[in-house]
Amino acid sequence: MPFTIAIDGPAAAGKGTIARALARHFGFAHLDTGLLYRAVGAIGGDPVAAARGLSPADLERDDLRSSEAGQAASRVAAIPEVRTALVEFQRRFARAEPGAVLDGRDIGTVICPEAEVKLYVTASDIVRARRRALELAADEALILAELRERDARDAARDVAPLRPATDAILLDTSDLSIEDALARAIDYAKAVGA
Ligand code: CDP
Ligand code: CDP
């Protein structure tokens, strides 16, 4: 049976960093599901058609990391048919042997409700904006406004809103280094059999 690790949380909380490192540690596959929504937003046109026709090459575009791509992703991610079109790909990925780590907003609640490990990674919005501004060499105040707008939209949408699964472990990284956050995540995954 494959082992699944679901990681959710708000923008720039450290989900991807922890997910990648966990996957490397355990020899699991990793899927950054935010890239799916970023690619659908970047393709433009009819988002439902873009989601249904999404190909691996679409995830390789080099314009997906920007703030604008994040905002476009959050808008298309509120469309129920877009989400439905992406479910099967994510669930198939989650069945990879010997295991898979998926990070996003609805992995523990909708995509993989049976995941062996569910982490809800968070940090204060000030800390998250500082980290993302450093990463993108962008203005911290602008990034903070963008993150707040995106988190509010993601949490308020009707379908698959951003929220911790009832059985998720909360990992607040506001005062944690990447190494410390990762060590806690590894300990927890080992404790439940990874
Ligand atoms: O995937 P998500 O948007 O949640 O966040 P990320 O891209 O993994 O992390 C955002 C930024 O915060 C990156 O530059 C990480 O290196 C940094 N980070 C950090 O400084 N401390 C942590 N405990 C986690 C992430
Ligand atoms: O890295 P960051 O946390 O800033 O964003 P991301 O994970 O790349 O996600 C971009 C946007 O896609 C989010 O703001 C959500 O609106 C959407 N998303 C989603 O709805 N469900 C997911 N599983 C992943 C992302």
Among 11, 9, 7, CA closest to 132: 11
Pocket perturbation via mutation, ligand 2, pick of 105, 119, 136, 150 by most ligand atoms within 8 A of CB:
105
- For the whole model, what pTM was predicted? 0.97
Question: Residue 1: pLDDT band by 50, 70, 90 thresholds?
Answer: confident
**Nearest 5°: CA angle at 37, between 159 and 29?**
105
For the CA of 111, the closest atom of ligand 2 is 23
For the CA of 134, the closest atom of ligand 1 is 14
Q: How many CB atoms lie within 10 A of CB 174?
A: 13
Q: What distance in Å separates the CA atoms of residue 170 and residue 56, rounded to the nearest whole number?
A: 31
Q: What distance in Å separates the CA atoms of residue 189 and residue 193, rounded to the nearest whole number?
A: 6
Q: Which residue has the least CA distance to atom 20 on ligand 2?
A: 77
**What domains appear along the chain, each with residue ranges and CATH number?**
3-191 (3.40.50.300)
- Name the residue with tokens 């575009």: 61
Query: What confidence tens digit (pLDDT) does each residue in 59-92 have?
Result: 999 999 999 999 999 999 999 999 999 999 999 9
